[in-house]
Amino acid sequence: MRVTEQIDALEAMGLNSIGYLIIPRVLAGVLMFPVLYIAAVLVGVGGGIAVAHLGGWVPAGEFVSGAREFFNPFDPVFGIIKSLVFGFVITSISCYKGYYTSGGAEGVGRSTTEAAVTSCVYILLADLVLAMTLL
Amino acid sequence: MIEAKNLFKSFNDRPVLEDVNMQIEEGETFAIIGRSGSGKSVLMKHLIGLLKPDSGEILIDGVDINKLDYRALRTVRRQFGVLFQGGALFDSMTSFENVAFPLATFTDKKPAEIARVVHECLEMVELEDVGNKMPSELSGGMKKRVALARAIALRPKYIFYDEPNTGLDPETSNTIDALISGLSDRLNVTSIVVTHDMHSVLSIADRAAFIHQGTIRWIGTVEELHASTDDVLLDFVKAHEYQIGGPRTSVATNPPSY
């Protein structure tokens, strides 16, 4: 939107482009990443049970009782906290890179790569900080 | 009235605007002309408040927009309609939604009323039947016309045109010129046209300012253009005349002095 002057068009109309474009995206990321996390956990555990049971390695009942034995109630809470933080990190970095991109189509490609790489680095950093403070 | 007073702007220590002074009167069609890279688009972005000058003032109806806070500046901008070089249509919306966007955002109009105004605006730019098309399905000229319909949707007091003819074939270019001229009369707006197309300037503008190396080298009515004795301005004007049938050798033997 930046390189095709769509952001300038929003501003020229008298609209706050940051409020219109960035805040909803960051909010969506923060709200939906935990949902994605829960879905991923359900699919992961469900898939594990199905493969173990159908493959004839571990019966479903035994799998569930084993999982319960090692279950720590803080783990899913910690997972949701991490997904909230990662959602914020990924969307805010990506929006920042996109909002201030320049240099035409090539610039958009460069900003996309920068957004992905920077997000990965900050996710690792955030993971470290969260693990050190909450675990 | 729009006034620029003692405007200076540099990018990375390279001066782009140097002591620019001009006045644009109510109701006139004012052209800002100059070579590519002369600073005319930068000047236009200052007039809208998209760029801030290093020093100097931009007065819109007597109010210096650079002294306003962001909220007040946005209120001033609602008097503006801007046609960007590539149209700047929102590519996730249809043509109808693009034109309806400012109406839905800034007015209390009901959907039926918005639809009526959108159809009226699209009719003014002679594109009644493209409402359902996405910007990617439109030609360059059609995009600019839909963008023009969006720019006039809120009935602005000032319309800014950034290179309205660039990238268009001569016939479509003439259509855009005719639209600009027609809208200026029909809506009684002040039009500011940034262009390097002299044909367009001569056919639609009342007055023009010639920007050269960041300064206003010449300012006056279109009738006074040819009477000017400024060599740089005459080179610029003549370059256009060569394009439309002058001797080819004249261009080769008299290259512009960049």
pLDDT in tens, B147-194: 989 998 888 999 999 988 887 888 888 888 888 888 888 888 999 999
Residue A16 to residue B221: CA distance in whole angstroms: 37
pLDDT of the residue at A120: 96
Distance from CA of A13 to the nearest CA of B (A): 6
What Å distances lie between residue B246 and A30, B33, B135, CA to CA?
64, 21, 38
Contacts of A12 in chain B (CB under 8 A): 48, 50, 77, 80, 82, 160
pLDDT of the residue at B241: 66
Q: Which helix (H) or strand (E) holds A110?
A: helix A104-134
Cβ of B106 within 8 Å of Cβ of A9? The answer is no
Distance from CA of B97 to the nearest CA of A (A): 14
Distance from CA of B78 to the nearest CA of A (A): 5
pTM for this predicted structure: 0.81
pLDDT of the residue at B256: 52
Contacts of B45 in chain A (CB under 8 A): 8
Strands in chain B per DSSP E: 2-11, 14-24, 29-33, 55-60, 63-64, 80-83, 158-162, 190-195, 207-212, 215-221
A5 and chain B: CB distance < 8 Å anywhere? Answer: yes
> How does strand B63-64 pair with strand B215-221?
unpaired
Quick one: average pLDDT of A56-73? 92
3-class SS of residue B215 = strand
pLDDT of the residue at B115: 93
Contacts of A13 in chain B (CB under 8 A): 77-78, 80, 82, 101-102, 105-106
A12 and chain B: CB distance < 8 Å anywhere? Answer: yes
Residue B150 to residue B99: CA distance in whole angstroms: 4
Q: Is the model more confident about B153 or about B239?
A: B153
Answer whether residue B258 shows pLDDT above 70.
no
pLDDT per residue as tens digits for the range B34-92: 888 788 888 999 999 889 999 999 999 988 998 888 888 888 888 899 998 888 999 99
Answer whether residue A135 shows pLDDT above 90.
no
Distance from CA of B70 to the nearest CA of A (A): 9
Cβ of B82 within 8 Å of Cβ of A12? The answer is yes
Residue A30 to residue A20: CA distance in whole angstroms: 17
Calculate the CA dihedral of residues B24, B172, B49, B155 and round it to 10 degrees.
Answer: 70
Nearest CA in chain A to B103: A13
Q: Is the model more confident about B246 or about B217?
A: B217
Residue A76 to residue A82: CA distance in whole angstroms: 10
What Å distances lie between residue B109 and A11, B90, B155, B187, B214, CA to CA?
21, 21, 14, 20, 43
Quick one: average pLDDT of A45-72? 93
Residue A24 to residue A22: CA distance in whole angstroms: 6
High-pLDDT (> 90) share of chain B, %: 26
High-pLDDT (> 70) share of chain B, %: 93
- Give backbone dihedrals phi and psi of B208, rounded to 5 degrees, phi first: -145, 155
What Å distances lie between residue A122 and A22, A36, A91, B185, CA to CA?
19, 19, 12, 56
Answer whether residue B246 shows pLDDT above 80.
no
Answer whether residue B245 shows pLDDT above 80.
no
Residue B61 to residue B240: CA distance in whole angstroms: 35
Quick one: average pLDDT of B240-256? 53
Q: Is the model more confident about A43 or about B35?
A: A43
Cβ of B91 within 8 Å of Cβ of A12? The answer is no
What Å distances lie between residue B219 and B26, B43, B155, B256, CA to CA?
17, 15, 28, 21
Give the count of beta carbons closer than 10 Å to the beta carbon of residue B64. Answer: 13
Q: Is the model more confident about A90 or about B71?
A: A90
Cβ of A14 within 8 Å of Cβ of B74? The answer is yes
- Strand-pairing partners, residue B209, are B32, B219
pLDDT of the residue at B244: 53
| Alpha helix stretches (DSSP H) within B88-137 | 95-106, 111-124
Going by C-alpha positions, the residue among A114, A118, A96, A117 that lies closest to residue A7 is A96
Residue A74 to residue A80: CA distance in whole angstroms: 10
Q: Which of B75, B90, B160 sits opposite A14 (nearest CB)?
A: B75
A6 and chain B: CB distance < 8 Å anywhere? Answer: yes
Min mean pLDDT across A65-79, B3-17, B112-126, B217-231 is at B217-231
